[in-house]
Structure 1
């Protein structure tokens, strides 16, 4: 009973907002969307615990201080062209504990904002139009003049600065808040990595937005309330069960995808020109447009699939493209996907530090014994690194796949000068490594779509070597017997997690250049119009 008093606010009978949500859901399960204010009150019904907050902050700090490779570099001023605020993230986390929080929700929401810190300002003069409206289809292609009484571009730019984290390039973040079509699970639909202004993973600050639109020669004013969806209404009945099922710490690994947590929306396959489809590999499609081959790569996530099947399917697509008569050019359209595996484009030129001959397999007991006395200049910061680790992942497996194919000795017809990489900049992690590799070492032309008209645009984002999360880290520390070490982060006392990179990638030609903080813009620029945004295969952007 005492524990409940600590966690829950004094809730009178009939005023438990979480219980009201569940009760209203039972009245109309198929069409229920809770009111914004009720959801907010449900979230704010859990007391802020200063001691628990201190322990959560301590755990995050230990994780970042010991395992986040860019802790020092994040404090440096951004390279020209990037738009983000240099941040002493440890200091920012400490400052959170000085705030007089009323609820646990407010505290956790501020942690989220701090970890995705991106703040600056930029202006643009482009026209914003409606791609699709589920309520009124007649609004398609109407121009958005004002949002909540303010110029649309100013509102969207401020949002891209403060509420998105997908890139250090503001133009790429701007792309992420607007809608664009991508290949997802074998279907073309609005990409899960875009439309972040109208699809929020966090509770918005207000219940609705008003829009002033120009439709032809007419003016319309519309209001759109946030529609709150959930598949978990059956899993709680009141605040107590909500806390136990969704907030309390758990030993089970339950990691939500911060992008792919919405049910797939409307598909656009019927509106695409599919007559030139040559090969459909589900995760990739291969097209022919005049004498240009187009490889649309949506993802290389192996998941539970056999990686050899995935590789063979991909290679068949390129080989089928190569068989087409007069097929002289190749366009690689990279996906808006942050979870690629670079093993698909494995290269023997993979750059890494030389490894130690006597590294052995002994468990290390502290970071100093693992790292040794190796010193390296990371950008403008001196750092120590280990030479007792070598990363090869699936390279041997994929090399066997290549060698097993009947036409392994047949070279594909294209060279670097016949290829371009086409991306909207939301090409991260291994996708960024692939595109950076092809651009820097092979001289493949890069073309970026969208962004701000008056500014260059990056063709890739966050080229980190590998992403980790705190649950994986805790599991690893447990396996090697270091979970009880005073320097190890402790499990959160709430059901929460966060991701962070643990590897860093350098330029091949300049080994002082950390790609994570390098502003690399595309060689050419294109912009969407009303046709190309809906049929990107046969109606190329302008």
Structure 2
């Protein structure tokens, strides 16, 4: 019911933002907001729209995006003609034709053009496929009320999770817990569901998209750029304010008692947090937009100062900071529940983005956590993967092996292009970069990429490498003397996957293997009531960023190779999936069939629970509820449920 044709989406969205005739502002709108902490929507918009559309910049940007998607984005062909999968919302997106439309339009501003490029890639619903214009991601836009969705009085409602009265003086803390009945004159659930379906590129599962746009204090997601959130953007929202109709609990009653005062309507603006370190439009452009090349090459990569270089990172733009910096959260946390659930342990798996200097400590901490569980006679374990954006695939491999000693390889392949063939050959020659970390059962060295196979993808035939899996030898060597923990103490029936669907990339591959190979049941959390949901998002495989790809080219002396992409003419980065992953345990004859791609499969959760007023802002209460379900056997494995 949520599917539609590309041009019903692309054309309407593009035309809705088409420029009106006129010239760029002559006044310096950025100087007006410089030095402020908070700006109005109109002030922030004026600064972002200050910079005129430049056809040369647009042409160069389009050419780079087109080259990457045509030559290296592994789902480019299938995205244009996707399969119909029950339970998934997949619309056809012909990226090249969409870029043609964008390129022909006389945009009002550079910002409008840049956001149009980002938007069309977002429509593929692959969170690895991202275009991020650094220039126009500096203001942070907030709605002063943040929403979540809970089950109250037997029905699913939209609820005020918390209020940011520090941003807007008219916001009132006592709106917290009020039901939102209407937004912009539509019923709140209708508006939120439509927004999730049409404006969130996080997943092909609408339940995950729904969860991704909603927030509460404890479940605020910080691992993406916030571009798809209902009340938090790093891009310019398309309207200045929204009208909310609220019905609030009567004085002295709790929200769950469903006793309300008369509804009222309030108009709530978008409020912008202003970036610092600029004084006017020229300094803003120089600080956030202009490309500052290094003397190494006329085509040296840029944007490096904002990029944390890691290997095999699943999430294209994972901004977590490693232990050498100021990271504020651990990768995993081991918790013992109390009271009648004292024999239940929770592993809160927050990220697999384990930096190289943290590998040994990660293993030691993980081992100590499992030993603590053994010492406390923990009988069952909840794996909470909610909000995990992925990371190092070898960290995920270590996690699975800690419980099951070994796990079958998940096979994958890479889309063929002459440029990448040159890269792989040079990588093996120089024994450097991630391209030497793949292993094939059929060949040695660079031959895994050169000996190609052709498969049907969409309406096209596409060349791919041989099947490969990821070698974790170098990762494992980092903790060879760490006494890594392996156990058979807990059976699959003693374990439970808990996920709000926002478990992406490496996380998605880990939970898929736990569920499909090792028979660990999965519980889906939240989403739209009445819709069966997945427990993972964007499990497409491995992603690349242009910034890191250019760094590889530089280290391999290939920056000036014919066919190599250039850096963007403005400060920007792009991520894309370059290695596709298949369902685990496939017979050899099923490899290569697009219906077996994990990205285009609906692997549904075995059971489901929802947020309530009681558990929405208290993870411990949520975990106790999950523990009761686990102990009582209320989430049994659904045989063939995800197939």
Sort the TM-score into its range (normalised by shorter chain): 0.7 to 0.9
Give SS of 1:310's match.
helix
Structure 1 position 335 matched with structure 2 position 335: no
Residue 505 of structure 1: how far off its partner (Å):
0.8
The answer (yes or no) to whether the contact 1:311–1:398 under 8 Å persists in 2 is no
Cα gap change, 1:258 to 1:281, in 2 (>3 Å): closer
- 2:28 is aligned, of 16, 19, 41, to 16
- 2:349 is aligned, of 297, 318, 321, to 297
Residue 197 of structure 1: how far off its partner (Å):
0.8
The answer (yes or no) to whether the contact 1:469–1:497 under 8 Å persists in 2 is yes
CA deviation digits over 1:39-65, x for unaligned, max 9? 112111212122321111011111111
Gaps of at least 5 residues in structure 2 are 1-21, 126-150, 166-171, 250-259, 294-301, 308-315, 322-328, 398-405, 415-423, 436-445, 630-643
Distance in 1 (CA, whole Å) between partners of 2:118 and 2:489 is 48
CA deviation digits over 1:241-270, x for unaligned, max 9? 2222212223341447967699xxxxxxxx
Distance in 1 (CA, whole Å) between partners of 2:604 and 2:555 is 42
Structure 1 position 465 matched with structure 2 position 573: no
Size of the alignment, in residue pairs? 490
The answer (yes or no) to whether the contact 1:370–1:388 under 8 Å persists in 2 is no
The answer (yes or no) to whether the contact 2:77–2:458 under 8 Å persists in 1 is no
The answer (yes or no) to whether the contact 2:360–2:482 under 8 Å persists in 1 is no
Cα gap change, 1:514 to 1:220, in 2 (>3 Å): same
Cα gap change, 1:369 to 1:464, in 2 (>3 Å): closer
Cα gap change, 1:398 to 1:330, in 2 (>3 Å): same
CA deviation digits over 1:75-100, x for unaligned, max 9? 22442211131111111111111222
Residue 105 of structure 1: how far off its partner (Å):
0.8
Structure 1 position 401 matched with structure 2 position 479: yes
Cα gap change, 1:150 to 1:292, in 2 (>3 Å): same
Distance in 1 (CA, whole Å) between partners of 2:267 and 2:116 is 28
Residue 344 of structure 1: how far off its partner (Å):
2.5
The answer (yes or no) to whether the contact 2:385–2:507 under 8 Å persists in 1 is yes
Distance in 2 (CA, whole Å) between partners of 1:208 and 1:261 is 31
Residue 305 of structure 1: how far off its partner (Å):
3.8
The answer (yes or no) to whether the contact 2:331–2:362 under 8 Å persists in 1 is no
Residue 20 of structure 1: how far off its partner (Å):
1.2
Cα gap change, 1:381 to 1:445, in 2 (>3 Å): farther
Structure 1 position 222 matched with structure 2 position 281: no
Distance in 1 (CA, whole Å) between partners of 2:206 and 2:64 is 30
Cα gap change, 1:397 to 1:224, in 2 (>3 Å): same
1:269 counterpart residue number: none
Cα gap change, 1:354 to 1:37, in 2 (>3 Å): closer
The answer (yes or no) to whether the contact 1:335–1:427 under 8 Å persists in 2 is yes
Distance in 1 (CA, whole Å) between partners of 2:605 and 2:199 is 25
The answer (yes or no) to whether the contact 2:352–2:506 under 8 Å persists in 1 is no
Gaps of at least 5 residues in structure 1 are 1-7, 183-188, 263-279
Structure 1 position 151 matched with structure 2 position 187: yes
Instruction: Please give the residue correspondences for 1:7-406 in structure 2 after superposition, counting only pairs within 5 Å.
Output: 12=26, 15-22=27-34, 25=35, 32-75=37-80, 76-117=82-123, 126-135=156-165, 136-180=172-216, 190-192=220-222, 196-216=229-249, 217-218=260-261, 219-230=263-274, 232-234=275-277, 236-251=278-293, 252=302, 253-255=304-306, 283-289=332-338, 290=341, 291-303=343-355, 305-325=357-377, 327-346=378-397, 347=406, 349-352=408-411, 361-362=428-429, 370-376=449-455, 382-387=461-466, 391-393=470-472, 395-398=473-476, 401=479, 404-405=482-483
1:3 counterpart residue number: none
User: What is the RMSD of the two structures over their aligned residues, measured on CA atoms?
Assistant: 3.3
Residue 240 of structure 1: how far off its partner (Å):
1.7
The answer (yes or no) to whether the contact 1:311–1:344 under 8 Å persists in 2 is no
The answer (yes or no) to whether the contact 1:458–1:522 under 8 Å persists in 2 is yes
Residue 421 of structure 1: how far off its partner (Å):
0.2
Residue 396 of structure 1: how far off its partner (Å):
4.9
Higher RCO (Cα < 8 Å, 6 or more apart) = 2
The answer (yes or no) to whether the contact 1:299–1:335 under 8 Å persists in 2 is no
Distance in 1 (CA, whole Å) between partners of 2:459 and 2:515 is 24
CA deviation digits over 1:169-217, x for unaligned, max 9? 11100001111465xxxxxx63325891111111111222221111122
Instruction: Please give the residue correspondences for 1:512-531 in structure 2 after superposition, counting only pairs within 5 Å.
Output: 512=593, 513-531=596-614
